[in-house]
Structure 1
Amino acid sequence: MLLTERLMAGERVFSAWSSVPDSLNAEGLAATPFDAVCLDMQHGAHHEDSVMRCLGPIIASGKPGLVRVPVDRFDMAARALDFGAQAVIAPMVNSVADARAFAQSMKYPPVGKRSWGPHLAMGRSGFSGPQSAWLDEANRKTLAFAMIETREALDAVDEILAVAGIDGVFVGPSDFSIALTDGKAVDPSLESMMEAIAHISARAQAVGKHAGIYVVDPKLVQRYSAMGYRLFALGNEQNYMERGAAALLADAGALTS
């Protein structure tokens, strides 16, 4: 099932988060119980070539591939879709102008101005119909998530959500905590910002759009879920290795207090 279909059905989708630009690593992540894999170009080491190569094994596994592009790299958003990504997350979307530029790159006319050339995505998905059929469905099947992680974005969240072609919002809680404390703290679990996080999801739900969030503490998933969030990105490769190694060593009796 497509990512958009799962989210529209109200399912919770848990995505792995990849910073390592290696296709074997992406293949390994896609083989885990995660529902999807997101390739991070903003703070991770992924680049244009690694996104092209890593989406292949993710798509082959039958799972959605997502890409977080660098700040203001809306050209890369369109490239990620051409490589087969089902969703793109754009960081630091702080205004309606940012949201419009992002949406324009993500959607074909009449919604946006995306240029035609999804041949690699077609092949990877097994599509064999006429190009017109792909065009008819492409805007619905690809999702544009605008990141809300600053005071400016919070103030403009309704206007950002109202932009045609923006399918949802995605909260970056670490940057959000820095913004809301005026640079005094970085705390993705900051209690004083939970009301704002709930507000963002409520505004998305009010207009029938999606809400996603990066989760540092998995114990917060249930709380975020109650707020209406349905797309959750958990951890990263370093976190997975640390936890996995600790669990193996504990099972082996190799860890002492």
Structure 2
Amino acid sequence: MLKSNKLKQIFAEGKRPAMGLWQMIPGANVSRILARAGADWIMVDCEHGNVDDAAMHSSVPVIAELGLSPIVRIPDLQPWMVKRALDSGAHGILAPLVRTIEEVENLVAAAKFPPLGRRGFGSPIAMQSFHPIPTFTEYLQQANESLLTMVQIETQEALDLVEQIAPLVDVLFIGPFDLGNNIGHPIIDGKMDPELDEAIAKVLRAGVAAGTKCGIFCTSGEQAKRYADQGFHMISAATDFTALGAVMEGALAAARGVQQEKAATY
């Protein structure tokens, strides 16, 4: 199982950052398009995306079959959401808007089988996202080591506690928009205040000090490259919803022979 988790293998090799794409539009065919674009991982977004439980179960195995790591962003910190995501075959989960150490500890417990946690065992679906397909026993024995638990650092409370949170999880993942909002420095028209830049740098320092990987959501390939150069380990380069709109606008502008203004993203 560990060898099947491409994202975790890239982390272990330590040679380059893992680049990913964000899926907000439901559908296995959307997952196939994104997976064939050359990414290392796909984030199936059940928080802000139009992805329900059934759509998640359709996308996760498709992504895994094409050799990428499917990661699921759960809508909330409830343990049953962690269980459903991992039982779908996800190689890891991302939890939004954490605020306390207790929340993080409970999240980790929900993601781990005993004795390390409280995850329930029984899904025959989860095994299908690994090659060779593990037996029930092999999945039970290997899942705790093979799957990734990630939390988003995007609140003032989490930022204040980031040094304590870092050793508890596999990845600290920065949500710049909510982090900016929560510390009083929102991103407006793409502009990031120095205070937000420093908050992001603080998270990266905490991750490096703890030996924990650090990821960040980006709105363009150019921005992703800048954060890669800063030492981030897991970076999103595009989101399906906004990328689709930008491509369609560009095609129509070219067809009409008009100068296209820069497409809006976030």
Q: Cα gap change, 1:207/1:53 in structure 2, threshold over 3 Å: closer, same or farther?
A: same
Q: Distance in 1 between matches of 2:159 and 2:55?
A: 32
Equivalent residue number for residue 205 of structure 1: 208
Structure 1 gaps of 5+ residues are none
Residue correspondence of structure 1 range 218-229 to structure 2 within 5 A = 218-229=221-232
Identity fraction in percent: 26
**Residue aligning to 1:8:** 12
Distance 2:256 2:40 in 1: 32
Contact 1:173/1:189 (8 A) holds in 2: no
Aligned to 1:109: 114
The secondary structure found in structure 2 opposite 1:133 is helix
Q: State the distance in 2 between where 1:74 and 1:40 align.
A: 17
- Which position in structure 1 is the counterpart of 2:187? 186
Is the contact between residue 187 and residue 193 of structure 2 (CA under 8 Å) also seen in structure 1?
no
Q: Contact 1:105–1:112 (CA<8 Å) still a contact in 2? A: yes
* 1:253 shift after superposition: 7.4
Q: Provide the rounded CA distance (Å) in 2 between the counterparts of 1:8 and 1:51.
A: 27
8 Å Cα contact 2:71-2:92 kept in structure 1: yes
Residue identity in the other structure for 1:148 = I
Write out per-residue CA displacement over residues 178-210 of structure 1, whole angstroms, 9 at most, x where no aligned residue. 1111xx633465132111111101111111111
Structure 2 unaligned residues grouped into runs of 5+: 261-266
Matches within 5 A, 1:33-44: 33-44=38-49
Q: 2:198, 2:186 → 1: CA distance?
A: 17
Q: How many Å apart are 1:247 and its aligned residue?
A: 4.8
Change (3 A) 1:178 1:242: same
Tell whether the 8 Å contact from 2:204 to 2:214 is kept in structure 1 after alignment: yes
Contact 1:71 1:90 survives alignment (8 Å): yes
Which of the residues 47, 60, 65 maps onto 1:60? 65
Deviation at 1:130, TM superposition (A): 4.4
Which of 159, 163, 166 is 1:161 aligned to?
166
Figure out how many residues of one structure are paired with residues of the other and give that number. Answer: 253
Q: Deviations over 1:22-71 (max 9, x none)?
A: 22222222222222211111111111111011112111111110110012
Provide the rounded CA distance (Å) in 1 between the counterparts of 2:230 and 2:133. Answer: 40
CA contact (8 A) 1:205 1:228 kept: no
Match of 1:31 among 29, 32, 36: 36
Structure 1's 7 and 253: CA in aligned 2 closer, same or farther, altered over 3 A?
A: farther
Contact 2:177 2:186 in 1 (8 A): no
Q: Secondary structure at the match of 1:162?
A: helix
CA RMSD of aligned residues (A): 2.1
Superposed counterparts of 1:123-162, under 5 Å: 123-162=128-167
Decide which moves more: 189-198 or 144-153.
189-198
